[in-house]
Copies of this chain bind each other. A is one copy, B any other.
Amino acid sequence: MTAAELTVPKLDYVFHPKSIAIAGVSAKEGTGFGGGGFVASLQEIGFRGPIFLIHPTATAIRGLKCYKSLRDIPDEVDYVISSVNARVVPQLLEDCIAKGVKVLHLFTAGFTETGDAEKAKMEQAVVARAREAGIRMIGPNCMGLYVPGARLAMMQGQIPEAGPVGMVSQSGMNAGEFIRYAVPRGIRASKIISFGNGADLNAADFIDYLTDDPETEIIVAYLEGIQDGPRLATAIRRAGKTKPLAILKSGRTEAGSRAANSHTASLAGSLQVFDGLCKQAGALRVESMEELVDIAVTFRFVKRLGGPNVVVVGGGGGASVLAADDLDAAGLQVPPLLPETQAELAKVTHEAGTSVRNPIDTTSLWEDTGFEATLMPCAKAPNIDVLLYHTSFGGGPMARQVDVRGRMERQVATLRKVQEEGGKPVVVAIRPSVSAEAFEQAEQFQALCWHNGLATYPTIARAGHALARLLEWQKLQG
């Protein structure tokens, strides 16, 4: 065994196809889902190998030559995406075997998840035949892979820039949603996998893969059900001890459990058991997609907290009071700053008095020099572990600033400097916008923040909750 073989996980070839054939592309450009959607996504992200289309009558679609059958393609094909009807899948599989295909991604639905026994039997037969022939399957009933490094995308709009976050998701829509919400906050993906029914390769396989994958530093997962419980438990335990891991487990209520069953034929299992498993594994179980994104951002940018003591800085007295409540309720502390820190702040603020105790809400924040002179002592305060700065766009005094972009850049440069020199995490809550103009400003500010290594959150409450969960994770890690 060579060194390369030792470090590259066994399933790595699944994520690095050299050529792709897609069966079931509509001759008219479709709604963007299904076969045509995969063609558009792969073309957009710039897949580097050839893409072959299989179509009974068309000559070419979107500039790509069509073949009547997989067997007619003259070149090698190692990866096939199926968007054909479920009843055609057995024939397509035979073609894959004949052609020497290594991976079959079944976007095709209509198997076990329908609740129809005949269709479930067909799924089992397909898996058995594929395994016998040495073909690995992703799906059925899933969106497959987003691997920016290999220029694979499951949906349009997915960027080619890669990063350290891997995801295993039973739902393609939720994988897509994770990507859409996480990317603007600085999350970049190593491999994101939507695996649907998981008839062949399942959650345990993919979690194992990401655990061993050197490109993946952080793992998140969306699971609807438990397949092969003991193996999944082993995979989660190993992953949780190796890398930061957060899992959104749905079907946690009776209604959700029923919905999960009809979505991906999943049996949700006992939440209590799953919760215990996560704790044992040193993994965080989260309750919503928003929380999953927040935790990924926190693992990526905050990494570690020295303790629960937050200094809250930002304009808006009422917002500060609510912030203190939110953070306290999340299990963090908002301690009064020490007299020496308050004295230093009093030098740069008009109000002083109670407004420099913590939360800090002073007009000195509105001026560039006051901004740094206010934040730096807060970050360096000996009884503080993390600085939370909150702001918003489109209202308040900032709205009437002329040089909004310049001011943003100066603020973020200062926040970065404060994080570096203060030696403690600085996190930023950018409260929701209510106009398109403000939304764009907030987006720009958010991009500036993460490019400068700052975690961003959409509300103070969510920032506080994520920080508290990071502390919980640190404790689980022991």
Q: Which residues of A contact B (CB under 8 A)?
A: 31-33, 109-110, 113-116, 155-157, 169-177, 180-181, 183-184, 222, 224, 248, 250-256, 258-264, 287-290, 315-329, 333-336, 351, 353-355, 357-359, 361, 366, 394-397, 399-400, 431-436, 439-440, 443, 458-459, 461
Contact = CB atoms under 8 A, between A and B. Distances in A.
25 contacts: A31-B400, A114-B351, A155-B395, A155-B396, A174-B318, A177-B316, A222-B318, A250-B318, A253-B325, A253-B328, A255-B325, A256-B325, A258-B324, A258-B336, A259-B320, A262-B357, A263-B318, A263-B321, A263-B354, A263-B361, A287-B329, A288-B322, A288-B461, A290-B459, A436-B439
B359 A259 contact: yes
A353 B232 CA distance: 29
B320 A263 contact: yes
Contact of A439 (B33, B109, B113, B439): B439
B439 A261 contact: no
Nearest to A444: B436
A255 B174 contact: no
A170 B353 contact: no
Contacts of A33: 396-397
Given A115-B354, A180-B394, A262-B355, A255 B324 contact: yes
Give the number of times this chain occurs in the complex, counting copies. Answer: 2
A264 B173 contact: no
Nearest to A119: B353
A-B residue pairs, 3 tightest by C-beta = A171-B318, A262-B354, A174-B318
B174 A322 contact: yes
B436 A260 contact: no
Contacts of A320: 259, 263
Nearest to A431: B177
Given A33-B396, A260-B321, A263-B354, 17 more contacts: A156-B399, A173-B315, A173-B316, A176-B395, A181-B432, A222-B318, A252-B329, A255-B327, A255-B328, A255-B335, A258-B334, A258-B357, A259-B323, A263-B321, A288-B326, A435-B443, A436-B440
Contact of A176 (B327, B335, B396): B396
A309 B430 CA distance: 35
Nearest to A116: B353
Contact of A264 (B263, B317, B395): B317
A318 B177 contact: yes
A13 to B, nearest CB: 27
A184 B432 CA distance: 13
A174 B264 contact: no
B177 A395 contact: yes
